[in-house]
Copies of this chain bind each other. A is one copy, B any other.
Amino acid sequence: MSYGRRAVGPQRYREDIGRVYEEFEVGDVYEHWPGRTITESDNTWFTLLTMNTHPLHFDKEYAAKTEFGRPLVNSALTLSMVIGMSVSDVSQKAIANLHMTDIRLLAPVFVGDTIYAESEVLSKRESKSRPNQGIVTVRTVGKKADGTVFLTLERSALLPKRGHAVGD
């Protein structure tokens, strides 16, 4: 997490998470923290709350008959967690998310796996229509504790310039 602390009075500090547009440097890599161990409940609840009916995510007997032999973690869940982990570094101050693309599912994730994420800044440009904002694009990578990369994606967010974030 990209946590800063702003002094807002004598011996008084305010948490300040995330980056404004000016703070992104193309090529910088942010190692997000903390990671997350995925539980059986995470997988079942997430799958059913999102109306996904695939038994591979919540029926162990079915999963035992598949080539994986056990439940796979729903890839929308791993994607959502990897994006979630990247927010405090990348889009905590974002006005909106604009686009996600090229989401590659490179290895299966199982219940009990612990996952981490990191992001590299690919590009940045000023908004043409919004003078106090800019667009930043990152590539985010999801890794297991053993280093296996299981997911990569690119996403873009609309970010405020310094002095123009909510709360500034």
Which A residues are within 8 Å of any B CB, using their own CB? 1, 17, 34, 36, 42, 46-47, 49-54, 62, 65-67, 72, 75-77, 79-81, 83-85, 87-88, 91-92, 94-105, 108, 166-167
The answer to whether A84 and B50 touch (CB under 8 A), given A76-B79, A97-B75, A103-B100, is yes
The answer to whether A53 and B103 touch (CB under 8 A), given A47-B84, A166-B66, is no
Beyond A1-B53, A51-B84, A51-B85, 16 additional contacts (C-beta under 8 Å) are A46-B80, A50-B81, A51-B87, A52-B87, A53-B88, A54-B94, A66-B95, A66-B166, A76-B79, A76-B83, A77-B80, A96-B108, A98-B105, A99-B103, A100-B105, A101-B101
Q: Are B166 and A81 in contact (CB under 8 A)?
A: no
- Ordered by A's residue number, 14 sampled pairs between the chains whose C-beta atoms are within 8 Å are A17-B53, A46-B49, A51-B85, A51-B87, A53-B88, A54-B92, A62-B166, A65-B167, A76-B80, A76-B84, A79-B100, A80-B80, A96-B108, A103-B103
Q: Are B83 and A52 in contact (CB under 8 A)?
A: yes
